[in-house]
């Protein structure tokens, strides 16, 4: 039955709204320490670029044959041009709203011996932008989609209009899944599902939440306070925890049986798969289990950033 559902993904349409990012990877080897300071010297032998942030979510959905539109602020810069070209080549309808005094964020990671040494971010200091064009685009696209995904990386796209977007989607009975950022969840009130990672969740509730009991206690508080249908917390090597207001919590262990090579993009895979499955009327527990499996596959592979249809089918 699930294989039949997956084969129907091409009938699902999802709108992704959020911050597109250019992810840049510098791969090299450690050739010793610098004479200038007590830091290693990494000789770079390979450089890769890929769309990140909300763009990565959109690509995952497209890889699984879902139809996807993406709306994001962007700059008049190389990063925007690169991301736009990659999205178009992946059959994604993109509205990257070029904005004055806005630069598309670039995250550069230096990697040696399969370990990330440092990450360098180039972004705007002031990321509070309001673009009437974004709301206009969203109003025109929303009536034709099955699901709305908000991919918030706190880079400006969702800084001032989240509640307006959520209320608009709810008026059209369109479910809303949010990958939140920061410790102010007030702006996400009224969404159906939030999918924070454990570190974001801890900051939001002001507690370290080491135990399952802590996660359930604080998770239920978040669900009730912000009128959510569910909260899915991603917990790295501990898997994910699903908290619902009127059901027992579900703690799903991590599935990868190999070394963790790369955690970048795991949350993007989870929200992408979750959106497609829920849009296909798969129940939330089974959707979370399969999304967790997909993320486990991603982190177990080296230089693997997106889920592919063939790999996802192998998990069913």
List, by residue number, the catalytic residues. 268
CA distance 219 to 201: 9
Residues 66 and 106 sit within 8 Å (Cβ to Cβ): no
250: phi then psi, degrees, rounded to nearest 5: -125, 115
**What is the chain's Cα-based Rg?**
19
**Cα→Cα distances 2→13, 64, 96, 250, 280, Å:** 18, 13, 34, 21, 10
C-alpha angle 274-278-284 in degrees, rounded to nearest 5 = 80
Residues 204 and 154 sit within 8 Å (Cβ to Cβ): no
Closest CA to 284 of 313, 235, 253, 249: 249
Residues 6+ apart with CB under 8 A from 219: 201, 231, 233, 241, 243, 249
């Amino acid at each position: 039955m699930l294989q039949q559902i997956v084969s129907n993904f091409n009938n699902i349409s999802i709108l992704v709204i959020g911050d597109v990012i250019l992810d840049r990877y510098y791969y090299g080897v450690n050739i010793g320490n610098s004479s200038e300071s007590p830091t290693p010297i990494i000789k770079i032998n390979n450089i890769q670029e890929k769309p990140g942030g909300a763009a990565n979510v959109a690509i995952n959905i497209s890889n699984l044959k879902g139809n996807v539109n993406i709306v994001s602020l962007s700059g008049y810069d190389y990063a925007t041009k690169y991301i736009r070209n990659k999205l178009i080549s992946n059959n994604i309808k993109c509205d990257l709203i070029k904005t004055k005094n806005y630069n598309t964020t670039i995250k550069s990671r230096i990697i040696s011996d399969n370990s990330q040494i440092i990450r360098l971010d180039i972004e705007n200091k002031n990321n509070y932008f309001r673009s009437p064009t974004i709301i206009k685009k969203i109003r025109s696209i929303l009536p034709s989609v099955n699901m709305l995904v908000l991919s918030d990386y706190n880079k400006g796209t969702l800084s001032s209009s989240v509640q307006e977007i959520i209320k608009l989607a709810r008026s059209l009975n369109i479910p809303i899944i949010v990958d939140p950022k920061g410790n102010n969840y007030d702006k996400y009130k009224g969404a159906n599902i939030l999918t924070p990672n454990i570190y974001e969740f801890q900051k939001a509730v002001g507690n370290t939440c080491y135990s399952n009991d802590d996660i359930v206690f604080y998770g239920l508080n978040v669900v009730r306070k912000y009128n959510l249908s569910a909260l899915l917390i991603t917990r790295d090597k501990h898997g994910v925890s699903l908290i619902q207001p009127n059901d027992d919590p579900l703690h799903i262990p991590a599935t990868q049986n190999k070394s963790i090579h790369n955690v970048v993009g795991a949350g993007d895979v989870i929200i992408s798969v979750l959106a497609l499955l829920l849009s296909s009327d798969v129940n939330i527990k089974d959707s979370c289990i399969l999304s967790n499996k997909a993320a486990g596959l991603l982190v177990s592979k080296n230089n693997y950033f997106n889920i592919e249809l063939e790999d996802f089918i192998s998990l069913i």
